[in-house]
Amino acid sequence: MDRTEKREFVASLASVFAETSMVVVTQNKGMTVADVTKLRVAMRASGAQFKVAKNRLAILALDGTKFDGIAPLLKGPTALAWSRDAVAVSKAAIEFAKTNDKFVVLGGALGSQTLNADGIKALSELPSLDTLRAGLLGMIGTPATRIAGILQAPGGQIARVLAAFADKDKAEAA
CA angle 102, 69, 84 (to 5 degrees): 75
pLDDT for 144? 66
pLDDT tens per residue, the chain (174 residues)?
788 888 898 888 888 888 888 899 999 888 889 999 999 999 999 888 898 888 899 888 888 888 888 888 888 888 999 988 888 888 999 999 998 888 899 999 888 888 888 888 988 888 777 777 787 777 776 676 666 666 666 666 676 767 777 787 777 776
Give the separation between CA 82 and CA 69, rounded to whole angstroms.
15
| Among candidate residues 71, 87, 73, the one with its CA nearest the CA of residue 22 | 87
Q: Which long-range contacts (CB under 8 A, 24 or more apart) does 143-148 make?
A: none
pLDDT for 20? 86
Q: Which helix (H) or strand (E) is 48 found in, with range?
A: none
pLDDT for 164? 78
pLDDT for 100? 87
Helices (H), 85-128: 86-99, 117-124
pLDDT for 25? 92
Strands (E), the chain: 22-27, 49-52, 78-83, 104-110, 113-116
